[in-house]
Structure 1
Amino acid sequence: MSDPVSALGGARIKGFAAVHEIGPIGMITLRAKGVKGLDKAVKAAVGTKLPTQRRIEIAGDSACGWMSPDEYLLVLPYAKVTSALAAIAKALKGEHHLAVDVSDARAVFRIEGPQAADVLRKLSPVDFARLEPAELRRSRAAQVACAFWQQDGGFTLVCFRSVAGYVMGLLTHSAMPGSEV
């Protein structure tokens, strides 16, 4: 088995906010609704409770984000994905669900600094003044589907790996003083 590689090799820039690609990061899409043991499966996989609508629960280097009424994004260290999938399968045995490793299909970025929200404000139709801590927002960065949340004084943004270069370009341009998007 080959070693995991992030989409852009840890690309980073510094403008009025710092932007860098992070990874590889483990991610599991979990689809289930109203199934017995769902909360226990999430707890076993990432150590968090099940989030409520448009929220993310974070526990150390792991998290569970609400993506839709029957979809959750589990974020965890890359090396723990296999054991997390096994824990989910055990907790939800006999229940209708789908748990898929999507780690290699995603790119993850951090936008940090006092003006981090300004970088995303140029790209996304979101009222950042009203975005609460622990709120997960599915939106767009320009024309690209993404999800992001505030964490540790900045934002974590997840998008499809296939558009990682484009998103890094958007974030780079947006983080430069005097830029307009």
Structure 2
Amino acid sequence: MSDLLFPLSTLAATAPDIPAARLSALPPATRLVFRGREAAIGPAGIAFGAELPRQACRFKRSGDRLAAWLGPDEWLLLAEDADPAALIAEIEPAVFGLPHALADVSSRSLGIALEGPRAAYVLNQGCPLDLSETAFPVGMVTRTVFAKAEIVLLREAPERFRLDVWRSFAPYVWGLLEEARRELA
């Protein structure tokens, strides 16, 4: 994939392996933003293939599908290896006639994974949240900032975080994560 379409490819290829906090670019994924009222939430989740969580700041995963609660009536739907048009065609009939909005934002963001025993420490170099497992447990998601960039942050495992960052900010965030990891090398 070209650097224009996937600007992290060159950076990821040259990233040093630092086991305490491994950094990797995640493959492209379909990203949809779903907004809906109560009646549309259940059918949308069934059609998408992953339940839309009702608990604030949580995500649910089913296979290669992930639904992340971003607000009282807003979810980020992530699907690996899915065609956005086909995915929309699966969801729209299930919520037809119900108040909702469904938008393809796949080109907007890129995914970055940070994992290892010092991953939370590295993230805290630019993110003001308490990333202890008590305050930010596995299954939690939130919009936040990393330095001056807005990100969506998910904790996928005790030592694994996923950052969803706008494409234009991805090299900036990557560079800051690399800088924060240097002392661990």
Do Structure 1 and Structure 2 share a fold, with TM-score over 0.5?
yes
**Helix, strand or coil: the match of 2:82?**
helix
Picking from 113, 127, 135, the partner of 1:110 is 113
Query: TM-score, normalised on structure 1?
Result: 0.88
Question: What corresponds to 1:160 in structure 2?
Answer: 166
Question: After the TM superposition, which residues 10-159 of structure 1 pair with which residues of structure 2 at under 5 Å, given as runs?
Answer: 11-12=11-12, 13=15, 14-15=17-18, 16-34=20-38, 36-45=39-48, 47-51=49-53, 52-129=55-132, 130-152=135-157, 153-159=159-165
**Helix, strand or coil: the match of 1:124?**
coil
The separation in 2 between residues aligned to 1:100 and 1:119, in whole angstroms, is 32
Q: Structure 1: which 5+ runs fail to align?
A: none
* Residue 82 (structure 1) shift: 2.2
* Residue 37 (structure 1) shift: 3.2
**Length, aligned pairs only:** 175
The separation in 2 between residues aligned to 1:95 and 1:22, in whole angstroms, is 34
Determine what percentage of the aligned residue pairs are the same residue.
28
* Residue 26 (structure 1) shift: 1.1
- Provide the aligned C-alpha RMSD in A: 2.1
Amino acid in the other structure paired with 2:139: A
- Cα shift readout 1:2-45 (whole Å, capped 9, x = no counterpart): 9x9423226322334111111211110111123x2321212211
**Helix, strand or coil: the match of 1:20?**
strand
The separation in 1 between residues aligned to 2:164 and 2:68, in whole angstroms, is 11
Q: Which aligned runs of 4 or more in structure 1 are off by greater than 3 angstroms?
A: none
- Cα shift readout 1:52-103 (whole Å, capped 9, x = no counterpart): 2100001122100001112100010243422221122101111221111111
Q: Structure 2: which 5+ runs fail to align?
A: none
Conserved 8 A contact 1:9-1:21: yes
Query: TM-score, normalised on structure 2?
Result: 0.86
**Helix, strand or coil: the match of 2:50?**
coil
